[in-house]
Amino acid sequence: MLKKPEMILIDVDGTLVDSVPDLAYCANEMMKRLGMPEPGEPKVREWVGNGVERLVRRTLIGQLDGEPDDALFDKAYPIYLELYAENTSKRSKRYPGVKEGLEYLKQAGYRLGCVTNKAEQFTVPLLKALGLYDYFEIVVSGDTLPKKKPDPLPLLHVAEFFGVKPEQALMIGDSVSDVTAARAAGFQIVCMSYGYNHGIDIRDANPDAVIDSMAELPDLLKQAARGAA
């Protein structure tokens, strides 16, 4: 049973935004420029979730685990960054229910922060382009702090920013990285069923709850409030 939180942190890719269409476009274009086979969107969808650098490495070797040749990566990475800077939000979309969920959280008075592994240079333009940026009092990107998820540091940083104890905080994400970070920080964790978790059902990671849409948050949090009464 969830406890009613005072603060809610929300992930970006796979939680608020389906960013794979842009990420896959850039992966395909990068490989085309390198004269290598394009992976296609379905494969990229299984590789995302740990930041752009990790995605480039996976694209170059065509699989989830392993490392490409250093020289090849050094050639490919700047190409991808250039492409993604121009294609951060051209094809990306908010998931259904996101706007309704955020509106409810804002009206209900929850303190809202955004914590993502995406670099700031891509995070802020994406959130602004999709009308999501102004919902958050703080945005912590993958390069804001010395460590990123699954390390608990970004979550604890925001808890300190708001002056909220970890046990009074909730993380909303979509991957095992989010679950690991939340557990290590002492946060509650709710996951989206539709996100990026390398093809593995997020229920296997045992979050506190799994929902299919952020439009389900009002009922979930009202139940939590009733449980605390």
Q: Please give the backbone phi and psi of residue 180, each rounded to the nearest 5 degrees, phi first.
A: -60, -45
Closest alpha carbon to 80 in 44, 115, 46: 44
Residue 198, Ramachandran bin (φ over 0: left; ψ between -120 and 50: alpha; else beta): left
**Tokens standing for 69?**
């040749």
- The residues annotated with a catalytic role in the active site are 11
Instruction: Return all residues near 177 (Cβ < 8 A) that are at least 6 apart.
Output: 49, 50, 117, 149, 150
Closest alpha carbon to 88 in 118, 67, 113: 118
Q: Identify residue 60 by its one-letter amino acid code.
A: L
**Cis peptide before 37, with omega less than 30 degrees from 0?**
no
Closest alpha carbon to 83 in 34, 139, 140: 34
Q: Please give the backbone phi and psi of residue 87, each rounded to the nearest 5 degrees, phi first.
A: -135, 40
